[in-house]
Chains A and B, each alone.
Chain A
Amino acid sequence: MSVLETPRIYFKGEVAWDPIVTNNFDTNYDETTGKTIYPSVVNRVKAFREQAIEEPGNWNPHGTHRAVLYETSVSGFDMGNGVNTDDPFVSAAVDFTAMLVDLEPYGTISSQLYFDAMRFGVDGGYRISAPRTSRVTARYINFARNSANKMIAGVASVVWQTSFAKTTGLRIDAFDSPLLQTLAGSIEQDDVLGLTVRFNTYRTIYYDNPDLTNGSLGAKAAAQALITKLKRGGFQPNPARSMVVGVVGLWRKLEPAYEPGDRVLIPATDSPIGSAYARLAKTTLTLDLSNSVPEVDKNLTKKDLGVLNVVAVDSAGQVVLNLGSFGYGEYNRAAYEMSAGIVSIPLAPGIAQSAVDSDLHLRDAAGTPLLEEMAVRAIPATPNLYLDEGEDVVTTFQAYIRGRLAASRVPVTLFQLGSGGTKLAEPRHLLTDSKGVLTLSLTKISEGITAYVPSLSSVDQPVNGINPQVSTYMYVRVRPGDAAVAALAPTWENVYSKVLANWSAMAPCMDNWLKLDDPVQIKAYASVLKRLTDPAQFENFSFMPVTRDLSAGERALLYNFLDSLDEGALGKPKTQKPLGPNFVELSRAMRRGSKE
Chain B
Amino acid sequence: MIRLELTKLNTVQDAQSMLQTAIRVEFGTLPPYLYALYSIRPGMNAESRKLIKSVVLQEMIHMCLACNMLNALGGNPELLPQTYPGPLPGDIGPDGTPLTLHLYRFSTEAMAQAMAVEQPENPPNFPTGAVFETASTGAVTIGQFYHALDNFLASLPASAWQTGRNQIVDNQFFAGQLFAINNYAGAKNAIADIVSEGEGTKQGTTDDPLDFQGEVAHYYRFGEIYHNKVLTKSDNPLGYAWGPAELGVDWAGVYPAISDPSIHDFSKEPQEAQAAQNACNQAFSAMVDALQRAVTGEDGALGGAVQAMFRLRMAALHAFTVPLADHSHTAGPAFLYKSTQTGESV
With a CB–CB cut-off of 8 A, which chain A residues contact B224?
124
Stretch at the interface among A66-74, A314-322, A338-346: A66-74
Closest Cβ of chain B to A118, distance in Å, is: 15
Whether a CB of chain B sits under 8 angstroms from the CB of A239 is yes
Q: B270 interface residue, CB < 8 Å from A?
A: no
B176 touching A124, Cβ below 8 Å: no
- Flag whether A282 is at the interface (Cβ < 8 A): no
Q: Are B175 and A232 in contact, CB atoms less than 8 angstroms apart?
A: no
CB atoms of B307 and A122 under 8 A apart: no
* Inter-chain contacts of B275 with A (CB < 8 A): none
Contact with A along B130-145 (1 / 0, CB 8 A): 0000000000000000
For residue A236, CB closer than 8 A to chain B, the reply is: yes
Given A70-B176, A125-B210, also A229-B307 (CB < 8 A): no
Contact with B along A230-257 (1 / 0, CB 8 A): 0011111111010000000000000000
Q: How far is the CA of A234 from the CA of B172 in the complex (A)?
A: 12
Interface contact A125-B175, CB-CB below 8 Å: no
When C-beta atoms are compared, the residue in chain B nearest to A573 turns out to be B323
Q: Is the CB of B215 within 8 A of A122?
A: yes
Say yes or no: A16 contacts B216, CB within 8 Å: no
* Bound-state Cα–Cα, A70 to B305, Å: 23
User: In the complex the two chains form, what is the Cα distance from A524 to B214 in whole Å?
Assistant: 40
- Please state if A512 and B213 are interface contacts (CB–CB under 8 Å): no
User: Which of B175, B318, B321 sits near A14, CB closer than 8 Å?
Assistant: B175
Q: Are A73 and B214 in contact (CB under 8 A)?
A: yes
**How many Å lie between the Cα of A92 and that of B215 in the bound state?**
9
Contacts of A124 in B (CB 8 A): 216, 224, 230-233, 240, 245
Contact A571–B175 (Cβ < 8 Å):
no
- B172–A239 touching, CB < 8 Å: yes
**CA of A474 to CA of B69, assembled, Å:** 51
- State which residues 541-574 of A face B: CB under 8 Å: 571
Q: Is there an interface contact between B216 and A235, defined as CB atoms closer than 8 Å?
A: no
Asked whether A121 lies within 8 Å of B233 as measured between CB atoms, the reply is no
Q: What's the interface size class on B, roughly? A: 35 or more
B303–A236 CB distance below 8 A: yes
B215 contacts A93, C-beta separation under 8 Å: yes
- If A70-B177, A229-B300, A528-B42 touch, does A122 touch B172 (CB 8 Å cutoff)? no
- A234–B230 touching, CB < 8 Å: no
User: Complex: how many Å from CA A498 to CA B172?
Assistant: 32
Whether A235 and B303, one on each chain, are in contact in the complex, defined by CB atoms closer than 8 angstroms, is yes
Within the complex, which residue of B173, B303, B321 is in contact with A229, where a contact is CB–CB below 8 Å? B303
Q: How many Å from the CB of A28 to the closest CB on chain B?
A: 22
Mark contacts of A413-457 with chain B using CB atoms, 8 A cut-off: 1 yes-contact digit, 0 otherwise: 000000000000000000000000000000000000000000000
CA distance A121 to B302 in the complex (A): 31
How far, in whole Å, are A528 and B299 apart by their CA atoms in the complex?
Answer: 35
Minimum Cβ distance to chain B for residue A76 (Å): 15
Most chain-B CB neighbours within 10 Å: which of A16, A124, A236?
A124
Q: B301: CB under 8 A from chain A?
A: yes
Instruction: Let me know if A10 is at the binding interface, CB within 8 A.
Output: no
Shortest Cβ gap from A116 to chain B (Å): 11
Expressed in whole angstroms, the Cα–Cα distance for A122 and B51 within the complex equals 12
Q: What residues on A are CB-neighbors of B321 within 8 Å?
A: 571
Q: How far is the CA of A50 from the CA of B139 in the complex (A)?
A: 54
Within B264-282, which residues are at the interface with A (CB < 8 Å)? Answer: none
Q: How far is the CA of A233 from the CA of B176 in the complex (A)?
A: 25
Contact of A234 among B214, B216, B306 (CB under 8 A): B306
* Given known A70-B176, A239-B175, A528-B42, contact A125–B233 (CB-CB < 8 A): yes
Assess whether B310 is in contact with A512, with CB atoms less than 8 Å apart: yes
* A234 B232 Cβ-Cβ under 8 A: no
Nearest CB of chain B from residue A105's CB, rounded to whole Å:
23
Across the interface, A71 reaches (CB within 8 A) one of B176, B302, B311, namely B176
B310 — nearest CB in chain A belongs to which residue? A512
Q: How far is the CA of A238 from the CA of B314 in the complex (A)?
A: 23
Query: Which residue of B is nearest A525, CB measured?
Result: B42
Q: Which A residue's beta carbon lies closest to that of B243?
A: A124
The answer to whether A14 and B231 have CB atoms under 8 Å apart is: no
Question: With an 8 A cutoff between CB atoms, is A51 at the interface?
Answer: no
Per-residue interface assignment for chain A, residues 13 to 27, with 1 indicating a CB less than 8 Å from any chain B CB and 0 otherwise = 010100000000000
Task: Please tell me if B97 contacts chain A, counting CB pairs below 8 Å.
Answer: no
- Asked if A91 is at the interface of the complex by the 8 Å CB criterion, the answer is yes
Tell me if B300 and A236 are in contact (CB < 8 A): yes
List chain A residues, Cβ under 8 A from B159: none
Among A92, A93, A235, the residue within 8 A (CB) of B307 is: A235
Contact between chains at A238 and B233 (CB < 8 Å):
no
Question: Nearest A residue to B290 by beta-carbon distance?
Answer: A234
* Interface pair A234/B240, CB less than 8 Å apart: no
Complex Cα–Cα for A126 and B214 (A)? 10
Q: A234 and B300: CB pair below 8 A?
A: yes
Give B168 Cβ to nearest chain A Cβ, in Å: 13
Bound Cα distance A232, B298 (Å): 11
B304 within 8 A of A: yes
| Smallest Cβ-Cβ distance to B307: which chain A residue | A235
Residues of chain A lying within 8 A (CB to CB) of residue B210? 122, 125
Q: Which residue of B lies closest to A16 (CB)?
A: B175
List of A residues within 8 angstroms of B230 by Cβ: 123-124
Within 8 A of B (CB), among A97-149: 121-126
Counting CB contacts under 8 A, is B171 at the interface?
A: yes
B304 and A233 form a contact (CB under 8 A): yes
A397 CB to nearest B CB, Å: 37
B214/A68 in contact, CB under 8 A? no
Residue contact A126 to B233, C-beta cutoff 8 Å = yes
Docked pose: A512 CA to B301 CA in angstroms: 16
Nearest-neighbour CB distance to chain A for B6, whole angstroms, equals: 32
Cα distance A234–B245 in the bound complex, in angstroms: 42
A208 part of interface (Cβ distance < 8 Å): yes
A388 to B175 CA separation, bound complex (whole angstroms): 37
A234 CA / B240 CA spacing, docked (Å): 44
> CB-CB < 8 A to B215: which residues of A?
93, 122
Q: Determine if B175 and A68 form an interchain contact, defined as CB atoms under 8 angstroms apart.
A: yes
Task: Kindly name the residue among B215, B301, B321 whose own CB sees the greatest number of chain A CB atoms within 10 A.
Answer: B215
CB atoms of B176 and A235 under 8 A apart: no
Cα–Cα, bound, A524→B310 (Å): 17
CB distance from A87 to the nearest CB of B (A): 13
> With A and B bound together, what is the CA distance between A362 and B214 in angstroms?
40
Residue in A125, A208, A233 with the greatest tally of chain B CB atoms within 10 Å:
A125
Contact A236 B175 (CB under 8 A): no
Write the nearest CB–CB distance from B321 to chain A, whole angstroms.
Answer: 7
Q: Quick one: closest B residue to A518, CB to CB?
A: B314
Across the interface, which residues of B come within 8 angstroms of A73, CB to CB?
213-214
B239, closest chain A residue (CB):
A125
Bound-state Cα–Cα, A126 to B310, Å: 35
Known: A125-B233, A175-B233. A234 touches B176 (CB 8 A): no
Contact (Cβ within 8 A) A229 B306: no
List which B222-270 residues lie within 8 A (CB) of chain A: 224, 230-233, 240, 245
Cβ–Cβ contact B171 & A92, under 8 A: no
A241–B233 CB distance below 8 A? no
**Closest chain B residue, CB of each to CB of A74:** B214
Digitize B170-205: 1 where CB-to-A-CB distance is under 8 Å, 0 elsewhere. Answer: 011101110000000000000000000000000000
B214's partner among A93, A229, A232, A528 (CB-CB below 8 A) is A93
Min C-beta distance of A218 to chain B, whole Å: 15
Can you list 10 A-B pairs, Cβ within 8 angstroms, ordered by A? A68-B175, A124-B230, A126-B233, A208-B169, A208-B171, A233-B303, A234-B304, A236-B300, A512-B307, A528-B42
* Nearest 10 pairs of A and B residues by beta carbon: A234-B304, A234-B303, A70-B176, A512-B310, A208-B171, A16-B175, A235-B307, A124-B232, A229-B300, A236-B303
List A residues at the B interface (Cβ < 8 Å). 14, 16, 62, 68, 70-71, 73, 91-93, 121-126, 173, 175, 207-208, 228-229, 232-239, 241, 511-513, 515, 521, 524, 528, 571
| Sample of 12 more A-B contacts, CB < 8 Å, known A122-B210, A238-B172 | A70-B176, A71-B176, A92-B214, A93-B214, A121-B214, A122-B215, A123-B231, A124-B231, A229-B299, A229-B300, A234-B306, A513-B310
